[in-house]
Amino acid sequence: MRKAWIVFLHEYVRHVKNKRFLFGLLSLPLAILLMTGVAIAAVFLSFDFRPVGVIDRSGLFQDAQSFKEMPFKEISFFLQVLPYDDEEAARRALDQGDIQAFFIIEPDYLTTGKVRSISQTGVDSIVTDVVSQYLLTHLLKNENPLVKTRILEGPRLEFETLDGKEPINNSSLFTSVLIFLFGIIFFFSINITGNYLLQALVDEKENRTIEILFTSLSTDQLMIGKIFGNLSVGLTQIFFWFAIPLALGVFALRTLPLPNTLNLDLSAIRLMMLLAVPAFIMVSALMMLAGATATEAREAQQVVALFSMLFFIPLFILDILIENPDSPLSIGFSFFPFTAPLMLPLRSVVTRIPFWQIAVSEGILVLCAAGAIWLASRAFRLGMLRYGKKVTLMEIFRSRVS
Amino acid sequence: MATIQVHEITKRFGHQTAVNQVTFNVEPGEIFGLLGPNGAGKTTTIRIILDIFKPDSGSVEVLGGKMTEEKKNRIGYLPEERGLYQDISLEMCLNYLVRLKGLKPSQAAQRVADLMKQFDLYEHRKKKVKELSKGMQQKAQIIATLAHEPDLIIVDEPFSGLDPVNTQMVKDLLREERNKGRTIIMSTHQMHQVEELCDRLVLINHGKVMLYGKINEIRRNFASHKVVVHPLGELPAYLPGVLQVEQVNSGYLLHVDTGTTPQEILKSLVEANIPLEKFEIAMPTLDDIFIQVVTAQGEEA
């Protein structure tokens, strides 16, 4: 296997050291960072960060502090709430532009909840939310902390039905979105790594180096080195491409109160990972098959595009899937190796999938991956020495290569 | 024991028989010519020897047995379809190909550097392969073939794309390798190179062996009843046993009767007091033999 390792390193280094790769590697994260920066800048520029004033005529908020008791994670962190003794002082501050608005808490607030808002051009809903949160927090300041938290955060709902089907709710929608995102990552991974693999084979054919390689190491070692070398190149690119958005996403999830209100179902993601591994191997082998039998890169890329489109069939029939997740069509697509990696996890969000279906689906994928490797190995040996000539599937089956 | 034993190998692609019952041996320490016109089956034969293709029937033994992964490290191959990685530096490309022949990184780097110096490529080592001329790429391929010091060297058209100076260098290199006891198979169309370098040859046409043996013996077998004479003066009007006199360059080609030996012609010339600069039996060139054999088979077919 030492020679497979040499091939692996060579394939990896020659791509990674290429300027085109570095440009491609940096272009997407930079574009994302730039767009994120522009979006954040736009929000900051358009949002009014000036404080808001509060005049307490109810006597309920006499010793209220502006944000010490406010939850750190809230946007209110950026927005200061200043108490004023009388309306005149607040109006003066508003005229001078020191504050964007002020709120007058009426004497009968406790019974009527009445609060007047005075501003020059109206206030954003975020401002009113912040003021409401401010009032609520201070009203509850002497309450038991557990009770206070429950009132402020509200209930955490879990949904069940008598027939075992899980109705669509915020949580399952969020999981579905995550599956969709993972699907996109999977799609990108397949395309990027597949294209590297394909290009490597077509280059090898065009450079006419394959004959020297065949007389230096076994076909198996060459294939292993090439597959893993080019997969690693693609995965390096994907890692850089997705590490930054992923890190931003994790930061957002930790910072924002979203996870507190959504019960994330990780079992669907785990199921997807389980199915993605053999699916990835199967597609890689099929890419090799396409690369070894095609006469030029464009022709092979068309075949690859077809493979990757098949993976997205479940998303095209999402409506039918949600309506009837246990229909023969949905179950059928759960066993079809190209659609199973997305179909099963999506179904698992809305229904309980019997274990045997998962086992059969995984089994079919593993068998297909093994079959694709076998086929690719034969095609590789036969097709790589055919310069400018196609190799047919019949030839691959009939050939004597071992 | 022969370095290569090819025994009655046959290979078909669809309905076409590329190699048909081909048998020959290659002995240790010789330069062996593998000849034939385009499409004769030479490259297929080489690929079968190297285990790239499996024969439909027949057997091949290389370096004392069947091909193994270890034996691949003892073989250097320069294919007819030349190929190097175009988008990487010459040094990186050669180091990679040589390392695949089992050399450690430091060993590979040293050998490659030495050979690049020998072939005047050292100062171009950082250039991308695609920036090199065709001749330079050809030399780089020869380096990749020889750097691991193989016991068996198979070269397919080794002189194509080389200028006369580099052609001479490669010839000297091949002779040097033979003198070190290495076995060389050379496939080429350039018959004068075969005459100059090879000890024995096999000529394949339409997948079949047409000629096989030592070059001198083959030429002798094809020798016709002709002698070349370069007299200092004129030839006598009549010489016994001579059917026709043909003037060629600065001498004469004498067509001799089948019952007369060249020695009898020489004796007649000496007796007639004709001073001679040159007297030799007119042996056919390999080119002549090649054309004769290939044309004859073409007419039969």
Q: Domain segments of chain A: what residues? A: 52-153, 167-398
∠ CA B75-B77-B78 to the nearest 5 degrees?
160
Order of strands across the sheet that contains B31-35:
B75-78, B152-156, B183-187, B31-35, B200-205, B208-214
Q: At B4, is the pLDDT very low, low, confident or very high (cuts 50, 70, 90)?
A: very high
pLDDT tens-digit readout, B131-149: 998 888 988 999 999 999 9
Is A217–B72 a contact, with Cβ atoms under 8 angstroms apart?
yes
Residue A282 CA to residue A199 CA, distance in Å, equals 18
Residue A133 CA to residue A71 CA, distance in Å, equals 10
Please name every residue paired with A101 in a beta bridge, in sequence order, or none if there are none: A52, A119
| pTM attached to this predicted model | 0.70
Main-chain dihedrals φ then ψ at residue B53, nearest 5 degrees: -110, 150
Tell me the average pLDDT of chain A: 78
Q: Is B212's Cβ below 8 Å from some Cβ in A? A: no
**Domain chopping of chain B, boundaries:** 1-74+150-223+286-301, 87-144, 224-282
Question: Is A354:A366 a contact under the CB 8 Å cutoff?
Answer: no
Q: What is the mean pLDDT of residues A58-73?
A: 60
Identity of residue A93: A
Across the interface, which of A208, A213, A401 has its CB nearest the CB of B82?
A208
Tell me the average pLDDT of chain B: 89
Tokens linked to B135 = 């001749």
Across the interface, which of B72, B75, B79 has its CB nearest the CB of A211?
B79
Q: Is B100's Cβ below 8 Å from some Cβ in A? A: yes
* CB atoms inside a 10 Å sphere around CB A88: 10
Query: Looking at domain A52-153, does it have CATH number 3.40.190?
Result: yes
Collapsing DSSP to helix, strand or coil, A294 comes out as coil
- The CATH number of the structural domain formed by B224-282 is 3.30.70
In sequence order, the 6+-apart residues with CB closer than 8 A to the CB of A159 are A166, A167, A169, A171
Distance of CA A97 to the CA centre of its chain: 43
Q: Is A60 exposed, middle or buried (0-12, 13-18, 19+ CB in 10 A)?
A: middle
Residue A53 CA to residue A278 CA, distance in Å, equals 61
∠ CA A358-A359-A365 to the nearest 5 degrees?
90
For residue A170, pLDDT over 70 is answered with: no
Within 8 A of A213 by CB-CB distance, chain B residues are 100
Collapsing DSSP to helix, strand or coil, A97 comes out as coil
CATH class given for the domain over B1-74+150-223+286-301: alpha beta
Within 8 A of B82 by CB-CB distance, chain A residues are 208
Q: Is A401's Cβ below 8 Å from some Cβ in B? A: yes
Q: How far are the Cα atoms of A262, A305, A373, A379, B295 from residue A287, in angstroms, in the given order?
A: 39, 10, 10, 11, 47
Collapsing DSSP to helix, strand or coil, B203 comes out as strand
Residue A119 CA to residue A258 CA, distance in Å, equals 31
Instruction: For strands B31-35 and B200-205, give the pairing.
Output: parallel
pLDDT at A296: 67
Q: Between residues B105 and A397, which one has the greater pLDDT?
A: B105
Question: Is A333:A313 a contact under the CB 8 Å cutoff?
Answer: yes
Is A7–B100 a contact, with Cβ atoms under 8 angstroms apart?
yes
Tokens linked to B176 = 């040097």
Nearest Cα to Cα of residue A350 among A268, A238, A295: A268
Is B85–A203 a contact, with Cβ atoms under 8 angstroms apart?
yes
| ipTM, 2 dp | 0.80
Residue A226 CA to residue A377 CA, distance in Å, equals 12
Range in A16-25, A80-89, A332-341 with the lowest mean pLDDT: A16-25
For residue A259, pLDDT over 50 is answered with: no
Q: At B298, is the pLDDT very low, low, confident or very high (cuts 50, 70, 90)?
A: low
Interface of A with B in 206-265 (CB under 8 A): 207-218
Across the interface, which of A10, A214, A387 has its CB nearest the CB of B52?
A214
A-B CB pairs within 8 A amount to 62
pLDDT tens-digit readout, A341-397: 888 888 887 788 889 999 999 999 999 988 988 888 788 777 766 665 667 777 777
Residue appearing with tokens 């990757």: A308
pLDDT tens-digit readout, B219-233: 888 877 888 899 988
Tokens linked to A232 = 């690693």
Collapsing DSSP to helix, strand or coil, A308 comes out as helix
